[in-house]
Every structure is written in C-alpha cells, then in structure tokens.
Amino acid sequence: MQIIEAADGYDAVIIGSGAGGGMAAKILAESGLKVAIVEAGPMFDPKNNAHRTQLRWPYESPRRGANNVRPFGDFDSAYGGWEIEGEPYTHKSGTKFDWFRSRMVGGRTNHWGRISLRFGPKDFKRKDQDGLGDNWPISYEDVKPYYDQVDQLVGVFGTKEDFPNEPNGFFLPPPKPRLHELYFKQAANKANIPVIPSRMSMLTKRINTDRGVCFYCGQCSRACMVEADFSSGTCLIFPAQRAGGQITLFTDAMAREIATDADGRATGVHYIDKNTRQENFVGGKVVVLAASACSSARILLNSKSSTFPDGLGNGSGMIGRYLHDSTGASRMAFVPQLLDRKIYNEDGVGGMHVYTPWWLDNKQLDFPRGYHLEVWGGLGMPSYGFGFNVSEMNKFTGGVVGGYGNKLREDVRKFYGSFMGISGRGESVAQYDNYCEIDPQHVDEFGIPVLRFHYKWTDYERAQAKHMHETFESIFDAMGAKSVGTKPGPEDDYGLLAPGRIIHEVGTTRMGVNPKTSVVNAYQQMHEVDNVFVVDGGPFVSQADKNPTWTILALAWRTSEYIIDQINQQNI
C-alpha cells in the first residue's frame, strides 16, 4: 500500500465530489483548511472539448444519441448509470432497487434536472402531521439561512409565490413559458390545479463575473460549457481552487474503507487507484462522506474494526436503514391543438419552465404524502427513437396508420411537437425494512464487498401513484388531449417506477437526536465517531416531494461551518 500523505496530511478528506462534497470542499478550503477529495471517477469539465457533449448534433454519435451506452443517451454527461461494469450490487428476497451512480468529478450534479426546491417547514416535521416516520431534529428555520446563501451563490430562477410549504427564496427571474406549457397551465387551472414558474438553477441573469448566462440550448443534462447551470465542479470546486483554496483532487480513486485509530476515531481513507489497481491511503483529521447515500453507507459498513465490528459508527445498526427514493409515474398525451404547429427554436432552459408544487391536503386523501408535477414536450432535437411508430399516431386523427414514402414525411412533420407528458414525483414514507447492507458473498472488481438491497413500496406509494394518474388524465381531459396507452392499474402498481429510478435515494445514515435510532446528529456528525461527517442525502430523515439537491447543498454548508467551528474549539 502506498501512503499518499501521512496520517495528518490533510485537515479534511472528503469522499465524493458531487453536491455535498463540492460544497464541503469549498467552505472548508475557504476557511484555510487543507482538503483532499477522493473521487471514484475521472476528471470532468464541460469546458474541455474532449468531455463536451453540449451543442453536439445527433449525427455526431454513430448511435444517434441512443441510450444503450449511457442510460440517458450518449449526450447526457453522467459517466455511470444504474448498471456499471465491474461494480455490481445484489437484491434480497426478490425485491427491486435500481442504484444509479455517476463516477466523475461533480458526480450527478453534471446531468441532474436542476430542479432546485427548498424543503418547506412541514417537510421537516412530517410525523407531527401524519404520525408516520420521524421528524427531523432540525426545522426549516435552521436551514433557511443556508438556503438563502445557496440561492445567491449558485443562482436559481423562480418567483416568490407565498405558496404553502414552498418557501420563497432569492430568485432570478424565470424564463417565459413555452407553448405546451401554456396549454398545460390553462388545462391544469381548469382542473383546479395550480401552476407556477419552475425553480431551477440556471442563470437567467449574470450573478458574478466568473460564470456565463444561460444561452437557452435546453441541454443542461449535458453540462454547460459557460457554467450557466449548477454543477459541483464548475460552481464549487474549480472556483474554490482558483481562489487559492488548497483542494487536492484524487480522481479514479475508489474509497474502500475509513481507517480508525485505537480510540475508534477516523484517521483517513483507504482507496483503490482504478488505473494502477493499487491500494493507497490518504490521511486526514476529519473525514467527510459525500459519496451518495448508498455509497457512503457502503463505505461505513465496510469500515470494520474491533471498536466497530458492524461498521464504523454503526453501534445502532441503523446504517443502511430507511433508504428511500422519490416515487415516480408519468403519462403522455397527444395534443390536437399542437398538430401541424409552426416550428421555431423553443429549446429554452433544460427542462420545464413551469411546474405544479403539491397543492392538496393529504388529510382529505387516502395517502399520506404529496407529489409535484413536471411537464415536458415541445420541439426537441431529434435523437435515436425519433419517428418510431409515428404513423400509428394517425389513429388519433383518423388518418392512415402504416405506409411508406412521402406520406411518412408528412406524418413526421405534422406530429412533431404535438405530444406532452406529465410526471409526478412524490414523497415516499421511509421504512426501517427498506435498506442496503453488505452482501456477504460478493465483491466488485476492486475487491470491495458490494451492497445488497431490500426495498418494497407500501400501499402509501401505490395509492399516491394511482392519484398521480388520475391527475394526469384530469389535466389531459381539460385540454382535450388524448392520453397515449392505457392507464396503469393495481396489477402494475399504478405505473409506480421501481425504487431508485428517480435517483433521489436518501435516508441511509439518518439524522436524529437519539444515537440508538439514528446515525448522525443535527450537524450530520456521526454520533459514535466525532470526526466523521456525512453531507450527502444519507442524513435525510424524510425525502419531501421535492428534489434533494438544494437541501444537500444547504446542509453541507451548515455542516462545514460546524466542522470549522469544532476545529477552532479544538473539539475534533
């Protein structure tokens, strides 16, 4: 084994360079700490032409951007996916969980949807409202100052709506809705469903002299070469390095285990250099886990010692428990008003310009937690799959299905941009029995024991998905749109996607006051190991009907300040 730095080489070793790791690196380095980041993937910078997929054309890819190599298509910037060669995972009792990983600097922040929602006051105290799960040990008021800072540091567009449980923020002005979004709003309002401007982290205005302004190519999932959207590399790590922060990036470095001393305190991180296939060690006074909820749980569970025979800081047996992802279901419809539409550039920002936050009261419903609506459609750039079964759409208009020749050209032209989709993304109820653990039999190609998942949706999520589909149809009906396919029923869980598909997995190192029932305290510090912190989605007690990134960023900032404070007080 090669020792990269002596045991006290770094003030902090951060595992993972996504939202949480990037924020921790920036804040800790700005305070003068010497920081190492251990990242399992290669360097990635969207400004580097060799990495760049933005503004490329479908024909630049021999498979025309198809999604058989990268799960969201060739031009999506995530290096990784639900399946990674050489890095398997397993399942218990025939249950299903799909585990997405991005192996690259910036992690999943390079391709994410940039939907940047704060959790609201109710989201931190769900047990108080429905008796299910647990409350967070912190409240919205604890996090609000950090959300405010994140808004201004990173940039997020939106509008102050004073909408219940959807806090206002420091917003940039939103872009104007597209045509299908105007139809969506009109129909949703008719069905008594509110629609507001979306809240996403693209720069519609300049926020500093470093980063560019959005140029509306609609390709945020490809990562932005002018840094007009948020990703951890471009907005946190690289700027902190340029500002003189002492941040050393170890790339292609697969963390295996956190080392501890005789007192059970962390001393650094063992990792496998993927290129040399050698084990290395990087030492630090503090270890910050930001590897993503399941990867962090895996590293802790694999860090066994005489003090911690069941994994580092796992005296409670809670590590890996309460794993939960957002729920997801979708439906698509043909919109007759959009048939034969005029074609123009409506790329806009990557993703939706409008959305619907949760608008109902669960006390009146047969499921306990809410969901938000996302809308999609428009005149997108063709890629593999474009034109598939286009002539079948004639059944909606009474035209001839099938055929060949120039009739097909006509079909393509008139149906282009005439479809709209709605997706529901909801909160599930965290369950003790949904978990990841170490598979006792299998290792990955680096010799590291892999995760085994056990996950089952409950009737809460199924009832919620059923309601989502009723909502989709009510909006499509109000629009006069024709839903494609059949409405899913109980035999297929009402179209509920498998857990892990929404890539909002959280909860595996949950936060709490009681060390017997939680893994970290309100500052994301491990109850049992005071120099180990977790700043990814692992500490979430409950995932709201919101996307988790903004909360990961805010909490990572808060924890980083706490780490600095604790170091200054010589407590750690």
Which span (72-80, 287-295, 312-320, 454-462) binds another protein, by CB under 8 A?
A: 72-80
Our CA dihedral for 393, 397, 402, 408, rounded to 10 degrees, sits at: -80
Q: Of the candidates 162, 60, 47, which has an alpha carbon nearest to the alpha carbon of residue 106?
A: 47
Q: What are phi and psi of 222, to 5 degrees?
A: -95, -5
Would you say 172 or 282 has its CB closer to another protein? 172
- Nearest-approach distance from CB 433 to another protein, in angstroms: 36
Interaction between residue 486 and another protein (CB under 8 A): no
Site for another protein in 32-61 (CB under 8 A): 42, 47, 49-53, 55-61
CB of 192 to another protein, least distance (A): 17
Return the ∠ at Cα 221 (arms to 217 and 223), rounded to 5°: 80
Q: Using the rule CB under 8 A, is 462 a contact of another protein?
A: no
The binder of another protein chosen from 35, 37, 79, 256 (CB under 8 A): 79
Amino acid letter, residue 235: C
Side chain identity at 259, as an amino acid letter? A
When the beta carbons of 60 and 261 are compared against another protein, the nearer one is 60
Site for another protein in 171-190 (CB under 8 A): 171-179, 182-183, 186
- Residue 23 C-beta: closest distance to another protein, Å: 20
Residues 485 and 346: their CA atoms lie apart, in Å, by 27
As measured in angstroms, the least distance from the Cβ of 30 to another protein is 17
Residue 146 near another protein by CB under 8 A:
no
Q: Is 162 in the site for another protein (CB under 8 A)?
A: no
Which residue, 349 or 497, has its beta carbon nearer to another protein? Answer: 349
Q: Does 350 bind another protein (CB under 8 A)?
A: no
Among the listed ranges 105-113, 334-342, 449-457, 465-473, the one in contact with another protein (CB under 8 A) is: 334-342
Q: How far is the CB of 59 from another protein (least distance, A)?
A: 5
The answer to whether 370 contacts another protein (rule: CB under 8 A) is no
Amino acid identity of residue 15, one-letter, is: I
HSE at residue 129, side-chain half, CA atoms within 13 A, is: 16
Nearest approach in angstroms of CB 214 to another protein is 8
Minimum distance of another protein from residue 14's CB (angstroms): 23
In the shown chain, the binding pattern of residues 289 to 328 toward another protein, with x for contact by CB under 8 A and - for none, equals ----------------------------------------
By CB under 8 A, residue 484 contacts another protein: no
Residues 135, 176 contacting (CB under 8 angstroms): no
Q: How far is CA 266 from CA 23, 307, 571, in A?
A: 21, 12, 14
Separation CA 100–CA 185 (nearest Å): 32
What Rg value do the Cα atoms of the chain yield, rounded?
24
Give the whole-angstrom CA distance, residue 97 versus residue 519.
22
Does position 389 interact with another protein (CB under 8 A)? The reply is yes
The least CB distance from residue 148 to another protein, in Å, is: 7
Does the protein bind another protein through residue 413 (CB under 8 A)?
yes
Tell the smallest beta-carbon distance from residue 18 to another protein (Å): 18
Q: Which of 93, 342, 569, 570 binds another protein (CB under 8 A)?
A: 342
Tell me which of 401, 433, 443, 470 binds another protein, using CB under 8 A.
Answer: 401
Choosing from 337, 514, 568, 571, the residue that interacts with another protein (CB under 8 A) is: 337
- The dihedral built from the CA positions of residue 113, 504, 427 and 169, taken in this order, carries a sign that is negative
Closest CA to 19 of 258, 243, 238, 237: 237
List 330's β-bridge partners, or say none: 423
**Count of residues touching another protein (by CB under 8 A):** 105
CA 157 to CA 319: how far, in whole Å?
36
- Is the CB of 18 or the CB of 239 nearer to another protein? 239
Give dist(CA 135, CA 129) in Å, integer: 10
Residue among 248, 280, 391, 431 that touches another protein (CB under 8 A): 391
Nearest to 375 by CA among 200, 181, 183: 181
Distance of closest approach, residue 150 Cβ to another protein, in angstroms: 12
State in angstroms the smallest separation of the CB of 27 from another protein: 20
Task: Output the six-digit token pair for 166.
Answer: 């959807």
Buried b (16+ CB within 10 A) or exposed e, 274-298: beeeebbbbbbbbbbbbbbbbbbbb
Member of 39, 98, 166, 227 binding another protein (CB under 8 A): 227
Please state, in angstroms and rounded to a whole number, the distance separating the CA atoms of residues 365 and 456.
22
